[in-house]
Amino acid sequence: MDSHSDMGRTSGKDTQEQTEFRQYCRDWLAQNKPGEPPVRLPLTALEIMTEAQMAYLKSWQKAAYEAGLVGCDYPESVGGGGRTGCQRIANEEMRAARTPFFPNLVGLGMAAATIYYHGRNELKERLLPPLFSGEHIWCQGFSEPGAGSDLASVQTFADQRGDKWIINGHKVWTSLAHFADWMILLLRTDKSHKYEGLSYFVVPIRSNLGKGVTVRPLIKMTGETGFNEVIFEDLEVDDGCRLDELGKGWQVAMTTLTHERDAGELVTPAAGGMRNESAFNATAIALPGLARNAERDDGTAADDPLLRDRIVQQFIREQAIAQNMRRSRIPALQDHPMRLPLQNKLLMSEVAQDTANLAMDIEGAGASLYVGDSNAPAKGQWPKSYMNTFGFTIAAGTSEVQRNILGERVLGLAKSK
């Protein structure tokens, strides 16, 4: 039982193209994998804080893109690699090589597919290459103070003036907005229809700072920054920035969310697997060591039968997620094509949350000590990690919304309003 970390990896049954591409990736990564980063990196792109971190990660994304490891399955006409089923291969090899992650998480994971499926050709050709290369960082303008789980109630409004649109409104929880060049933006063009009144735009952010766009940091419960609120005051954009037809914003947003929840076709080239001090994964593999070092009156936390059972349960749940992914590629072993993909985000976020919570229980009183305390076990990362997991169970559709989607789309139960 020594390879829980590599079980999600697969290398069987590749096509000829995939086999060759995998070898190419391996060779390239062996030569070009970045060395130790000059700056401490956060756990994910969503927590990039400094210009130095961003600059380092951008240069890595650019190198990987130029080598053909990003946008592999997109057509060459939009700056992609023109391959089939190769992004997954590149992702697996980057993970195995423990590369850093890419900073353009929103761009690669959500904006690219949305623009590709819903944008005009001219827009795709202009926006996708710098998105893949990381030259342009993207952010997502969906949630508002009054529109969280009920996303379709967004109030940010675009008023048509000739072939221009004048945008006013307030977006929140906007990760990466302080670095962003562009934003994917869900807004309202008609106040009389809830769903049909929505439209979808791509808007330049950085070039409009102070000219109708204000970005302000929001502070998370951990005390860290990371996401922002974005305020639009009479921002003027061209009609050419609109995706799909007027009134089709909700359908376009569904494409974005499908990819955000990791269930879309063009698999997200998201993270590498480079480990460093601050890249703190909430995975069960850390728990046995933590438990053996947590002293109790009669031994250590590793001797406590209840904690032992909970630790093993986390190992089993993580293994099940990896095996779900493996089974989702075998049609004969599933009965609804979206049944496993739609569970993924829900499972990953809840398992990580329970693991981090369990880590605090293992640490006991020591878990009260936070990152600023030199006596804190594991440098106080577990309490921070636990709090941060709520970002994952709330963002991109709360766990409750995910259960509605699974109940309605997979089990066919009546829609809950």
Q: Which two tokens stand for residue 11?
A: 């290398």
Shortest spacing between CB 250 and another protein, in angstroms: 22
CB of residue 99 vs another protein: minimum separation in angstroms?
23
User: Length of the chain, please?
Assistant: 417
Output the smallest distance, CB 308 to another protein, in A. Answer: 4
Residue 350 is among the residues annotated as catalytic for this protein? no
Identity of the residue, 39 or 322, whose beta carbon is nearer to another protein in the bound complex:
322
Eight-state DSSP code of residue 233: E
Q: Please tell me the distance from the alpha carbon of residue 301 to that of residue 289, in angstroms, as a whole number.
A: 10
Q: Which H or E run includes 186? A: strand 182-188
Handedness of CA 219, 225, 226, 227 (dihedral sign): positive
The distance of closest approach from Cβ of residue 86 to another protein in the complex, given in angstroms and rounded to an integer, is 16
Give the footprint of another protein on this chain (CB under 8 A).
Answer: 1, 3, 7, 10-13, 288-289, 291-292, 302, 305, 308-309, 311-313, 315-317, 319-321, 323-324, 326-327, 329-330, 332-333, 339-340, 343, 346-347, 400, 403-404, 406-408, 410-416
| Paired residues of 216 in beta bridges | 229
216/329 with CB nearer another protein: 329
CA-based torsion, 264, 107, 210, 245: positive or negative: negative
CB of 13 or CB of 191, closer to another protein: 13
215, 177 contact by CB (below 8 A): yes
Please identify which of the residues 144, 229, 260, 318 carries the catalytic annotation.
Answer: 260
Nearer to another protein, 270 or 405 (CB): 405
Nearest CB to another protein, comparing residues 254 and 312: 312
Q: Quickly tell me which residue has 């093993």 as its tokens.
A: 312
**Cβ atoms of residues 251 and 260 within 8 Å:** no
Which two structure tokens, joined as six digits, stand for 118?
């819903």
CB of 357 to another protein, least distance (A): 18
Residue 165: which H helix or E strand, with range? strand 164-175
| Active site positions, annotated | 260
